[in-house]
Amino acid sequence: MVFEQWAFPYDDENVKGIYDAYKLNFEQPTSLKSFVETSLSEVDSYAAVFVPGGHGSMLGIPEDNNVGKLLNWAHQSDLFTLSICHGPGSFLSTMLNGKPFLYKGYRMAVFPDSVDKMTPMIGYLPGHMPCGVSERLKDLGVELVNTKADKSVCLDRKLITGASPLASNELGKLAAHTLLKELK
């Protein structure tokens, strides 16, 4: 797993402590395939699935059957799903094998395609992304709650989303409050 260190909250000692405690797990993660094959029966051990953002979540992830199985399992198990930035691109995997789109009719905060189209001009990406995520989700029946790469977050049923890295703190607070309230 690779973190975009430019977005890391270096001033937050609690976050740094958690990162340091789990650094080895981040550097040598268990494969998703292994998790799907061995852990989906342990639903009581989980409160949520978190799908990180980054452009990588749009490349190969939407076509990964294991991602689709995990997201469908979380939804069917009444677990929360959290995602930020481009992470909701992974939600496209819920349609694999002829299944209907799991999040049709949901409200979401998602990184806007309009901003992605500008990033090569400012040097953030070397070229344009092969596909956008926000408009594709919108075409599938998602209501987008943001138009900018801002601090927007959204809670809809058991889905918590954030628009961009700028929303990280707000997403964390919303997720913590929501999960703690739910897990009383």
Note the pLDDT tens digit of each residue in 53-99: 876 777 789 999 999 999 999 999 999 999 999 999 999 999 999 99
Question: What percent of the chain is modeled with pLDDT above 90?
Answer: 69
Domain that holds residue 128: 46-182
Q: How confident is the model at residue 162 (pLDDT cuts 50, 70, 90)?
A: very high
d(CA 124, CA 53): 15
Which residues are known to be catalytic?
85
- Would 82 be classed as within a structural domain? yes
Task: List pLDDT tens digits, range 119-135.
Answer: 645 555 555 566 678 99
Asked whether residue 116 is assigned to any structural domain, the reply reads yes
Tell me 100's DSSP state.
P
129, burial (CB in 10 Å: exposed 0-12, middle 13-18, buried 19+): middle
CA pair distance 143, 107, nearest whole angstrom: 5
Domain count along the chain: 1
Q: What is the pTM of this model?
A: 0.87
Q: Could you read off the pLDDT of 30-55 as tens digits, one per residue?
A: 899 999 999 999 999 999 999 998 76
Residue 23 lies in a domain: no
Q: Is residue 14 part of a domain?
A: no
